[in-house]
Amino acid sequence: MPAVDKLLLEEALQDSPQTRSLLSVFEEDAGTLTDYTNQLLQAMQRVYGAQNEMCLATQQLSKQLLAYEKQNFALGKGDEEVISTLHYFSKVVDELNVLHTELAKQLADTMVLPIVQFREKDLTEVSTLKDLFGLASTEHDLSMAKYSRLPKKKENEKVKTEVVKEVAAARRKQHLSSLQYYCALNALQYRKRMAMMEPMVGFAHGQINFFKKGAAMFSQSMDNFLSSVSDMVQSIQVELEAEAEKMRVSQQELLSVDESVYSPDFDVAAPPINRNLIQKAGYLNLRSKTGLVTTSWERLYFFTQGGNLMCQPRGAVAGGLIQDLDNCSVMAVDCEDRRYCFQITTPNGKSGIILQAESRKENEEWICAINNISRQIYLTDNPEAVAIKLNETALQAVTPITSFRKKQESSCPSQNLENSEVKNDNTVPKAAVSVPEAEELIAPGTPIQFDIVLPATEFLDQNRGSRRMNPFGETEDDAFPEAEDSLLQQMFIVRFLGSMAVKTDDTTEVIYEAMRQVLAARAIHNIFRMTESHLMVTSQMLRLIDPQTQVSRANFELTSVTQFAAHQENKRLVGFVVRLPESTGGESLSTYVFESNSEGEKICYAINLGKEINAVQKDPEALAQLMLSVPLTNDGKYVLLNDQPEDNDGSPRENTGAESEA
The span from the first CA to the last CA of the chain, in angstroms, equals: 73
Q: What is the chain's alpha carbon radius of gyration, rounded to the nearest angstrom?
A: 43
Contact 136, 173 (CB under 8 A): yes
Write down the pLDDT at residue 420. Answer: 39
Mean pLDDT of 156-165: 82
Please give the Cα distance from 130 to 33 (Å, whole number). 15
**Banded model confidence at residue 472, pLDDT cuts 50, 70, 90:** very low
For residue 147, which amino acid is it? Y
Cα gap 656→637, rounded to integer Å:
12
Q: Of 417, 479, 401, 363, which is closest to residue 630 (Cα–Cα)?
A: 417
Per-residue buried b or exposed e for 537-554, using 16+ beta carbons within 10 Å of the residue's own CB? bbbbbbbbbbeeeeebbb
Poorest-pLDDT segment among 6-15, 98-107, 450-459, 587-596:
450-459
What letter would DSSP give residue 430?
B
586 vs 413 pLDDT, higher one = 586
The answer to whether the 17-151+158-217 and 281-381 domains have the same CATH topology is: no
498 φψ region: left (φ > 0), alpha (ψ -120 to 50), beta (else): left
Which of 84-98, 215-229, 296-310, 512-526 has maximum average pLDDT? 296-310
Out of 76-80, 427-431, 526-530, 649-653, give the one with best mean pLDDT. 526-530
One CATH from 3.30.70.20, 2.30.40.10, 1.10.3720.10, 2.30.29.30 for 281-381: 2.30.29.30
By the 10 Å C-beta count (0-12 exposed, 13-18 middle, 19+ buried), 155 is classed as exposed
CA dist 98 and 106 (Å) reads 12
Question: How much is the average pLDDT of 234-245?
Answer: 89
User: Any idea which architecture 17-151+158-217 has in CATH?
Assistant: Up-down Bundle (1.20)
If one compares 221 and 100, the residue with the highest pLDDT of the two is 100
Look at residue 497 and tell me whether its pLDDT is greater than 60. Answer: yes
273 vs 2: which has the higher pLDDT:
273
Q: How far apart are CA 355 and CA 309, in angstroms?
A: 12
pLDDT, tens only, 353-388:
899 998 888 888 999 899 888 888 888 888 888 878
Q: What is the pLDDT of residues 538-555, one digit of tens each?
A: 888 898 988 878 888 888
Q: Where are the beta strands (DSSP E) in 33-108?
A: none
Of 193-202, 208-217, 317-326, 590-599, where does mean pLDDT reach its minimum? 208-217
Show the CA angle centred on residue 607, arms to residues 602 and 609, nearest 5°. Answer: 95
Q: How far apart are CA 225 and CA 301, in angstroms?
A: 52
pLDDT given for residue 645 in this prediction: 40
Closest to 432 measured CA to CA, from 415, 409, 414: 409
What's the confidence (pLDDT) of residue 554?
Answer: 86
Q: pLDDT confidence of 155, banded at 50, 70, 90?
A: low
* Residue of 280, 291, 297, 371 whose CA lies nearest to 338: 297
Residue 612 has pLDDT above 90, yes or no: no
502: left (phi over 0), alpha (psi -120 to 50) or beta: beta
Helix (H) or strand (E) holding 159: helix 157-214
Q: How confident is residue 469, by pLDDT bands cut at 50, 70 and 90? A: very low
Return the H-helix or E-strand segment holding 516. helix 509-524
* Domain 489-629 CATH class label: mainly beta
Beta-strand runs (E) in 264-379? 281-289, 295-305, 308-312, 320-324, 329-335, 338-345, 351-356
Query: Does 108 have pLDDT greater than 80?
Result: yes
Mean pLDDT of the chain: 78
- Residues with Cβ within 8 Å of 395's Cβ and at least 6 positions away in sequence, in order, are 401, 516, 519, 520, 523, 524
* 627-644 per-position pLDDT tens digit: 666 655 555 555 554 444
Q: How far apart are alpha carbons 507 and 378 in whole angstroms? A: 45
Residue 118 identity (one-letter amino acid): F
Report which secondary-structure segment, H or E, holds 501. strand 489-501
Q: Are 574 and 509 in contact (CB under 8 A)?
A: no
d(CA 316, CA 191): 29
Residue 11: pLDDT above 90?
A: no
CB 41 within 8 A of CB 111: no
Query: Tell me: the pLDDT tens digits for 434-459?
Result: 667 878 888 888 888 887 744 333 33
Give yes or no for a contact between 340 and 359, defined as CB atoms under 8 angstroms apart.
yes
Between these two residues, 59 and 211, which has the higher pLDDT value? 59
Average pLDDT over residues 245-274: 80
Spell out the domain ranges in the chain.
Answer: 17-151+158-217, 281-381, 489-629
